[in-house]
Amino acid sequence: MRIPIVAGNWKMNTTVTEAERLVMEMLEKLNRIEGAEVVLCPPFVSLVAVGMMLEGSSIKLGAQNVYFVTAGAYTGEISPLMLSELCEFVIVGHSERRWHFGDTDEVVNKKVKAALANNLKPILCVGERLEEKEAGKTEEVIHRQVTAALDGIEHVVASDSSEYRLSRDAEIAASLVIAYEPVWAIGTGKAASGEQAAATIEFIRDVAAKTIDKNAAQSLRILYGGSVTAANIAEFVAHPQIDGALVGGASLKAVEFMSIIQQTIEIKGSTK
Ligand code: 13P
């Protein structure tokens, strides 16, 4: 049984003060959640403050990006080793990184491996652009992105040991989350339909099964992201293929984000 995940990607929003206020509002309602993992991904500068507030709660923390080198002369970058002291998850390969900051499939693969090697759980984002969807290339694009991102992850070496920590596929599946985020659905209010998302997510699982082991791919959590709101979350999580959501704009509104989490828990709980 896969435990659902609802993750909030705050993107480049909230000052530290605003982040603290938002978490305070959420904590009042969400101190102990059962039935889903909830992950907040604030900007880097708020990780410490938010992390301190989340101590003792079941809400987890994630970063929005990571560089692939542990330390060195890379002005302005944040390393996976640094993040490993602060959070459990890290978003990798978000389309905004791919399209605004030039993260190629090769860079995304290095970031996934660097995250895993430093005991961070990557939330790997994949998704096609509008012109690719209209050209009937969704599966081709997704296949390329997933295959490239997962290439060689079974050989990742943890920084704190010389063992091949991730040599067991089950371990990979437990450490990795994939989010299907069609670029045309992000921030547009035009979410994919539940059926579309479920079909593509099934395809992602099939592609992953060819890269990692088949059983491991069955236990991999795969989320939908793109204009998820309290009004449409039910449409997605009602599909057994969809293990939760990566939420952007709606995760900045405490009441709405709570509702997304609660609906996910109720629907996934009743379809077990
Ligand atoms: P929106 O929910 O604002 O469309 O953003 C989705 C997203 O990019 C989450 O990573």
Q: Say what the pLDDT of residue 213 is.
A: 77
> pLDDT tens-digit profile of 200-252?
999 999 999 998 877 788 889 999 999 999 999 999 999 999 999 999 999 99
In ligand 1, which atom is closest to the CA atom of 187?
Answer: 4
Nearest-CA residue for atom 5 of ligand 1: 248
Centre of ligand 1 from the C-alpha of residue 225, in Å: 6
Say if residues 83 and 92 touch (Cβ distance below 8 Å). no
**Measured from the CA of 191, which atom of ligand 1 is nearest?**
4
Q: 177, 116 in Cβ contact below 8 A?
A: no
Q: Residues 111-138: pLDDT tens digits?
A: 999 999 999 999 999 999 999 999 999 9
| Average pLDDT score over the chain | 93
The residue contributing the CA closest to ligand 1 atom 2 is 248
Which of 227, 229, 252 has most ligand 1 atoms within 8 Å of CB, for mutation?
227
Ligand 1 centroid to 187 CA: how many Å? Answer: 6
Whether 22 shows a pLDDT value over 50: the answer reads yes
Quick check: 162 pLDDT over 50?
no
DSSP 100-165: HH---HHHHHHHHHHHHHTT-EEEEEE---HHHHHTT-HHHHHHHHHHHHHTTGGG---TT-SS-T
**Which of the residues are catalytic?**
94, 181
**Residue identifier of the C-alpha nearest atom 7 of ligand 1:** 248
- pTM, 2 dp: 0.95
For residue 171, pLDDT beyond 90 = no
All structural domains of the chain? 5-270 (3.20.20.70)
**Which residue's alpha carbon is nearest to atom 9 within ligand 1?**
248
